[in-house]
Structure 1
Amino acid sequence: MNVIEEAHQRLKELAGNLWWTWHEEVATLFCALAGEERFAACGRKPLRLLAELPPSALTAALASPEFRQQLEDVYQRFAAQRDQSRTIAREEGGIGPTTPVAYCCMEYALDDSLPIYSGGLGVLAGDHLKSASDLGLPLVGVGLLYHKGYFVQRIDRQGCQGEIYPTLNLNLAPLTRLPGMTVRITLPGSGLTILAAVWKVSVGGVELYLLDPDLEGNPPRLRRLCDRLYGGDRRTRLLQEVLLGMGGVSLLEDHLSLRPSVWHLNEGHSAFLLLERLQRAIRRGLTLSEAKTEVLSTSVFTTHTPIAAGNETFVLTLLRHYFKGMATELGLDWEAFADLGRDPSGSPNEFSMTVLALHLCRASNGVSRLHGKVARTMWQGVYGVEDPELVPIGHITNGVHVPTWLGDDFKGLLRNRLGLSLEQGAEAEPTTWNKAGNLEASTLWNTHLAQKQRLFELLGELQDQGALVPGNDKATATTVRERLDPTALTLGFARRFATYKRHCLLLLDRKRLRKLLCNPNRKVVLLFAGKAHPADEGGKAVLQQLLTVAREKEFLGRILFLQNYDMAIAKILIGGVDVWVNTPIRPLEASGTSGMKAACNAVPNLSVLDGWWDEAYANGLGWGFSNEGTKEGKRLDRLDNATLFGLLEQQILPAFFERDRDGLPMAWIELMRRNLAELPPRFSTSRMVAEYRDLLYRPCPTAPHYVPPTKGRRRGTRLSPARG
């Protein structure tokens, strides 16, 4: 291989590894390769650029010694970080390159070029993988390849959501099919066999493996099994989760020759892996009791939802068709098998994946301090205790991968003005951020304004594309464009449309809303984004209600909806608004991470004291509220609406619009300083993954039945002993 060929190979390797999504030097490299204009025309996606770049242009660039040196410098940094988890010495009886953490999840959000995610769970999983790479933690991910992803959202003239399912172009997606590898999943006595191809996604030093049943050896219904994320009927969902859980075990152990030291179930969707591991242990000659001990000692579980409907269940009649043979092989009659997933507080005819995970994982956790408390009450029936504080479910609060979600202007500020590095988990160190508290006011404000200007440019682009509502038709476009004003106080609200998230809370008092939005001296704009699940008619109705108000003449251009919310839009929206708003019914938000992303960009939160904000909120960081003790329903909504308007009118608008002689909102800038200095290290996935590593992953092989309680740990982490 000559010099040019080697350089070309390294360029392809950099383009194919998602390390580039959080290392801007790779984007700089590809800009040098083809020019900023051409790279932007390719959506700033390296793989697409390489596919579309004329061979002559590529050859010319690679012939340049200067470009090859730039490539070499970037590649050496990449290779060093990629390989750190592969060369780490195996810990005694624990994690190492051939005994990694196996991380299993239904969805992953790594980049919008790989749309196999729907929302928060996937974003959390993607950030988990990136921080594992940063920390050099030997970890492999397991998921499914959805050929049509979640869906592309389209809003019609009546404000109704429609769903479009384009097929993923695998040639431009950042994944590679592993040749000659076919995973076979068979459920004894059911007649079911699923074959799956394997695709690999490289995320720095972490590999994510995606199972794909679109193979000729499968009947048509199974080939289409993973067309859509969270689509299809209950049988489809069951078989997807069989593929994820049981197929994941076969993939790692039989085909990749890995022996995971610990299996991390990120939500209950993958819990069938526990049954597969039980079955394998019994086939090796262990008794059922011994098999349970082995599985229990090397499995941990994270629950993500305090809403009953969000916890996966299957009717036992459906489950029996596929699992009766396995029950027999495990030495259990059907009722005993069903009890592994029966919730004593739920229907006796349903099998809960959450309950199965609680029974067979040695440690379980919620994703915020408040959620841990809620989960202990929610699942106390599984443990048969009267005091929920005796329930062995702790918490590790979620975080965000700061290098992914920090806006470009703030990255430059931290690097160039403060000399800060976010490499290899440094984002979790408070000392990394302390200097931000002393940033010059004008510098901090101008950095924010640069990101805000980028947001308003995006709004204009979306309007041109017909993706800004209202404003996607000629009748309203002119009015909306005239009212797009980056000097306005801009409130952002973006998340899945569901009734408990209360997107329309501010709309309840139309008189105060009109006064808030229609004041020419203190302009305010509300930006909304998010999708409703295709089967969630309540969520769709909320979206339609919002858009009906947004189309009223007086609110045109003052309430805007950004269609088809994805990672690309999220990065610009979250980092460009002035305030991030969240209004769930407490305590139904398990954690929420969008507000953490806002704080990383010095954007203060205005939120119900739920999820992460319940433990993050302090005076001077933003605004929190909760009408504790009020029952759900219209009374709670009215009280929260009044509180919300009170905070906006009495505190937020004055702080934002009151300026000093230089035109700077000094009180507001102090809020920004504190957000940037205090919150990113506390709510980063580097901190989160380090806590999983130290408190859940490492103890598993050496302490099968006990994780020491850590009440009072810094950042509020709390874990409890597990029961077998």
Structure 2
Amino acid sequence: MVIDEFTREARIAYFSMEIGIKPEMHTYSGGLGILAGDTLKSAADLRIPMIGVTLIHKMGYFKQELDFFGRQIEHPDPWEIEKYLTKLDVVVTVTIENKPVYVTAWLYVIESGTGGKVPVLFLDTDIPENEPEHRTLTHYLYGGDLEYRLKQEIVLGIGGIRILNELGFEIKKYHMNEGHSSFLTLELLQRFKRPIEEVWSDELVWDTEKVKDLCVFTTHTPVAAGHDRFPYEVVQRIMGEIVPLWLLKKLAGDGMLNMTLLGFNLSEFINGVSKKHEEVSEKMFPGYEIHAITNGVHSYTWVSEPFKRLYNKYLPGWANEPEIFVRAWRIPEEELWDAHMQAKKHLIDYVNRLTGANLNYDTFTIGFARRATPYKRADLLISDPHRLAMIAEGRIQIIYAGKAHPRDEGGKKLIQRIFEVKERIKDKVKIVYLPNYDMEMAMKLVAGVDIWLNNPQKPYEASGTSGMKAAHNGVPNLSVLDGWWIEGWIEGYTGWAIGSLEESSDPKRDAEDLYYKLSNEILPLFYENRHIWIKIMKNAIALNAYYFNTHRMVRFYVTEAYIR
């Protein structure tokens, strides 16, 4: 079997509900999935024995259509599975509502230029053995209702463990990337249960310590709604009793089954994804020791072609040793600016073809692209349209992108608000909102804009990786001090802060600071002192890209979590 070459050594199993590897494979919705893909790519580069486990999501997340008023219409987003994946000859079963559900797997192999390879398993229930309702369980990422999500998480956690076992993998550690896969701990508990030694007793010992020794958990969200919770009566009806209810409640919470608590209580190592997120997580979940391993991005994936050529010339070896970015000072200013303008022209041409917006190459371009949801405050920049128009005076153009979850009405209204303001001030400021934000579009945006804007409500940005991608292309950040930016920010040197470290998020105060810095610091520098602007671009590379990459992040996981 094609999988056999990967079963010869013990591996770290990395479980994630979404893993984004290529734009053409619609197996991700945003940051969580892209991070998972970047993690496994760095593992391949560093020749670390890992294996990814996820669901196949045959119909993707959704394809976004936006009408003239910015109303979002969702469409299925299927992709050519057989073009990228190899079907494996393996089938296991999980039990859902007292019925067997058959799970098979497809294989994708991440291959690195270093010779490293990391297999990724995509679990699939769309096979003839299953009833129609079960065949669709692996169709939609974050689709359906609460019960659909619960069934998906049974397939991922329990089905994933059984597939690995059936294929003959020896697993050193199970790394849960968020709580979606926490049911794998229950399957491990089943594996390690044993009778109480007294002959007369039929009670079992559930060896939680053995399970903890095998498990690592990364939490990504400081937003309470981001932690999956299920009523116990629904869990019992759908999943049955894998472990006794008293034990499940002890591990996952009394009121409802909390997937994050389940993962926490059965993991030896727990981490947040930035130093600030560690603090926030410990307040959300008091009593747990939570570490910080700040996220990164896969450098080679997110560096644009003009910058790849530039780095190859002046920073040879950068792709597998991103620490070399610290030497970015040696790149000549003119060549750095020329690489940026190549990336910018590529973006502007793409946007103009897509929208007919007639953006131009020389205007200061702000990029804002992420999931459209109220706490990310995409409308902060346009909160005072008149003030923005006065500041801009034809010197600013803005590119927005991002999907709202189909059930997030607040996020959908946010997009409509941007469309409304776009029309109102179109004679003063060119604003575009690109539909169907994905990896391919993100690659163009993070490299081609002049500044990357991020202004969520604090403290809800656990890490944020889009700004790291921008820094890899010499694009400075303008961001609130939350998540990774607290660690990467040096005011006026690697970029700019909105607000202060001490202050909480106040929309009026944040908007005032944003407008002030644009008007008095950023625009004058960009238009009147290109020499200093390019120095800031170099600093973004040398002081941000060198550290905020998944090579550094994966090494931390190895030394702090995997070999404990």
TM-score range, shorter chain: over 0.9
Instruction: Report deviation, 1:285.
Output: 8.8
- Asked whether 1:176 is paired with 2:86, we answer yes
Instruction: Report deviation, 1:354.
Output: 0.2
Secondary structure in 2 matching 1:508: coil
- Asked whether 1:376 is paired with 2:376, we answer no
Paired residue for 1:626?
499
Q: Distance in 2 between matches of 1:107 and 1:209?
A: 11
Paired residue for 1:421?
317
TM-score using structure 1 length: 0.74
Q: Distance in 1 between matches of 2:145 and 2:403?
A: 20
- Asked whether 1:203 is paired with 2:110, we answer yes
Paired residue for 1:656?
526
Letter of the structure 1 residue corresponding to residue 366 of structure 2: L
- Asked whether 1:316 is paired with 2:211, we answer no
Are residues 241 and 203 of structure 1, via their aligned partners in 2, closer, same or farther at CA, if it must alter by over 3 Å? same
> What runs of 5+ residues in structure 2 fail to find an aligned partner?
112-116, 198-202
Paired residue for 2:40?
129
Secondary structure in 2 matching 1:693: helix
Q: Distance in 1 between matches of 2:39 and 2:503?
A: 36
Paired residue for 2:95?
186
1:502-527 deviation per Cα after TM superposition (whole angstroms, max 9, x unaligned): 0000112222111123x24xx21011
Letter of the structure 1 residue corresponding to residue 285 of structure 2: W
Instruction: Report deviation, 1:280.
Output: 1.6
Are residues 336 and 282 of structure 1, via their aligned partners in 2, closer, same or farther at CA, if it must alter by over 3 Å? closer
Q: Distance in 1 between matches of 2:195 and 2:53?
A: 24
Paired residue for 1:350?
256
Secondary structure in 2 matching 1:611: coil
Secondary structure in 1 matching 2:546: helix
**How many equivalent pairs are there?**
551
1:321-359 deviation per Cα after TM superposition (whole angstroms, max 9, x unaligned): 1344323xxxx3x244223211xxxxx531100000111
Q: Contact 2:383–2:511 at 8 Å: present in 1 too?
A: yes
Q: Contact 1:549–1:555 at 8 Å: present in 2 too?
A: no
**Which among 452, 461, 477 is matched to residue 589 of structure 1?**
461
Q: Distance in 2 between matches of 1:434 and 1:637?
A: 35
Select between 234-243 and 150-159 the one with higher mean Cα deviation: 150-159
1:456-495 deviation per Cα after TM superposition (whole angstroms, max 9, x unaligned): 11112212xxxxxxxxxxxxx4xx32xx111000000000
Letter of the structure 1 residue corresponding to residue 367 of structure 2: G
Instruction: Report deviation, 1:273.
Output: 0.2
> What runs of 5+ residues in structure 1 fail to find an aligned partner?
1-12, 18-82, 87-95, 343-347, 384-390, 464-476, 660-664, 700-724
- Asked whether 1:552 is paired with 2:424, we answer yes
Q: Contact 1:437–1:676 at 8 Å: present in 2 too?
A: no
- Asked whether 1:411 is paired with 2:308, we answer yes
Paired residue for 1:676?
541
1:48-67 deviation per Cα after TM superposition (whole angstroms, max 9, x unaligned): xxxxxxxxxxxxxxxxxxxx
Paired residue for 1:512?
387
Q: Contact 1:198–1:210 at 8 Å: present in 2 too?
A: yes
Paired residue for 1:461?
353
Please show how residues 481-520 of structure 1 align to structure 2 within 5 Å: 481=358, 484-517=359-392, 519-520=393-394
Paired residue for 1:719?
none
Select between 492-501 and 670-679 the one with higher mean Cα deviation: 670-679
Please show how residues 124-523 of structure 1 align to structure 2 within 5 Å: 124-172=35-83, 174-179=84-89, 181-186=90-95, 190-204=97-111, 205-253=117-165, 255-282=166-193, 291-327=207-243, 332=244, 334-342=245-253, 348-380=254-286, 383=287, 391-416=288-313, 418-423=314-319, 425-427=320-322, 429=323, 432-463=324-355, 477=356, 480-481=357-358, 484-517=359-392, 519-520=393-394, 523=395
Larger strand share, 1 or 2: 2
Q: Distance in 1 between matches of 2:35 and 2:374?
A: 22
Instruction: Report deviation, 1:685.
Output: 0.1
Q: Contact 1:586–1:626 at 8 Å: present in 2 too?
A: no
Secondary structure in 2 matching 1:457: helix
Q: Distance in 2 between matches of 1:598 and 1:141?
A: 26
Find the structure with the greater CA-based Rg. 1
Q: Contact 2:94–2:102 at 8 Å: present in 1 too?
A: yes
- Identical positions, percent: 38
- Asked whether 1:694 is paired with 2:564, we answer no
TM-score using structure 2 length: 0.94
Paired residue for 1:41?
none
Q: Distance in 1 between matches of 2:405 and 2:448?
A: 26
Please show how residues 610-621 of structure 1 align to structure 2 within 5 Å: 610-619=482-491, 620-621=493-494
Instruction: Report deviation, 1:176.
Output: 0.7
Letter of the structure 1 residue corresponding to residue 52 of structure 2: G
Q: Contact 1:144–1:244 at 8 Å: present in 2 too?
A: yes
Instruction: Report deviation, 1:317.
Output: 1.4
1:112-145 deviation per Cα after TM superposition (whole angstroms, max 9, x unaligned): 1101100000000000000000000000010001
Instruction: Report deviation, 1:630.
Output: 5.5
Are residues 697 and 258 of structure 1, via their aligned partners in 2, closer, same or farther at CA, if it must alter by over 3 Å? same
- RMSD after superposition: 2.0
- Asked whether 1:107 is paired with 2:55, we answer no
Q: Contact 1:453–1:486 at 8 Å: present in 2 too?
A: yes
Secondary structure in 2 matching 1:127: helix
Q: Distance in 1 between matches of 2:386 and 2:499?
A: 23
Q: Distance in 1 between matches of 2:81 and 2:107?
A: 12
Q: Contact 1:278–1:291 at 8 Å: present in 2 too?
A: yes
Q: Contact 1:627–1:639 at 8 Å: present in 2 too?
A: no
Secondary structure in 1 matching 2:372: coil
Q: Contact 1:550–1:556 at 8 Å: present in 2 too?
A: no
Are residues 164 and 677 of structure 1, via their aligned partners in 2, closer, same or farther at CA, if it must alter by over 3 Å? same
Secondary structure in 2 matching 1:264: strand
Secondary structure in 2 matching 1:456: helix
Secondary structure in 2 matching 1:506: coil
Letter of the structure 2 residue corresponding to residue 376 of structure 1: E
Q: Distance in 1 between matches of 2:196 and 2:187?
A: 15
Letter of the structure 2 residue corresponding to residue 446 of structure 1: D
Instruction: Report deviation, 1:627.
Output: 4.8
Paired residue for 2:114?
none
Are residues 628 and 698 of structure 1, via their aligned partners in 2, closer, same or farther at CA, if it must alter by over 3 Å? closer
Q: Contact 2:481–2:501 at 8 Å: present in 1 too?
A: no
Q: Contact 2:196–2:205 at 8 Å: present in 1 too?
A: no
